Structure 1
Amino acid sequence: MIIRILGEGQFDVPDDALDRLNGLDDAVESSVDAGDEGAFAGALAALLDGVRDSAVPHEPGTLDTSDLILPHAGATLEEVRDLLSGDGLIPG
């Protein structure tokens, strides 16, 4: 799966990392639903770190479409609220 982190680039994430990333995504979604800025900042940082830690950078210069797009590290709770679907940032 190719995941783009806005402002950073694309990452190739192995399928076996998706369950863990979904758990981190659930924390982001819960903090957004609760309007908890403090929990949100930590949850978003953990999700983005989870992608970076489990993935390898996608080949630069390719024009491959991202399967998922995640917000940049400095995104606000309101910006992420606008991006969320019923399945969170990472469906599943």
Structure 2
Amino acid sequence: MIVRIMGEGQVKVADSHFTELNKLDDELLAEMESGDEPGFRRTLGALLEAVRRLGEPLADESLEPSELILPAEDATLDEVKEMLSDDGLIPADPSTISPPD
């Protein structure tokens, strides 16, 4: 799956890594719901770092459509809330993501 981190670029992440990413996404969602700003900051950073670590960066000139878009590390709690779906930032089953038109 092609994942874009806003302001950084794209990485290709194997579906096999989504269990680990979903654990962080669930933690992030819980912190957002409770208003835990320090926890939100820490977990958002950990989630983005995991995507960077597990993914393979695509060249800047690559024009692959992003199947998933994640916020920048400095995004606010309110900005991230606007990006949420029912599953959080990352779907529980990556195969359910519809490719962009």
TM bucket (normalised to shorter chain) is: over 0.9
Measured on the aligned residues, the alpha-carbon RMSD in Å equals 0.8
TM-score, with length taken from structure 1 = 0.95
Identify the residue that residue 67 of structure 1 maps to in structure 2.
67
Where structure 2 has 5 or more consecutive residues not aligned to the other structure, the ranges are 93-101
Identify the residue that residue 56 of structure 1 maps to in structure 2.
56
* Equivalent-residue separation in structure 1 for 2:55 and 2:40 (angstroms): 22
Question: Quick check: 1:32 aligned with 2:41?
Answer: no
* Equivalent-residue separation in structure 1 for 2:55 and 2:26 (angstroms): 19
Where structure 1 has 5 or more consecutive residues not aligned to the other structure, the ranges are none
How many residue pairs are counted as aligned between the two chains? 92
1:59: how far off? Answer: 2.9
TM-score, with length taken from structure 2 = 0.87
1:60: how far off? Answer: 2.5
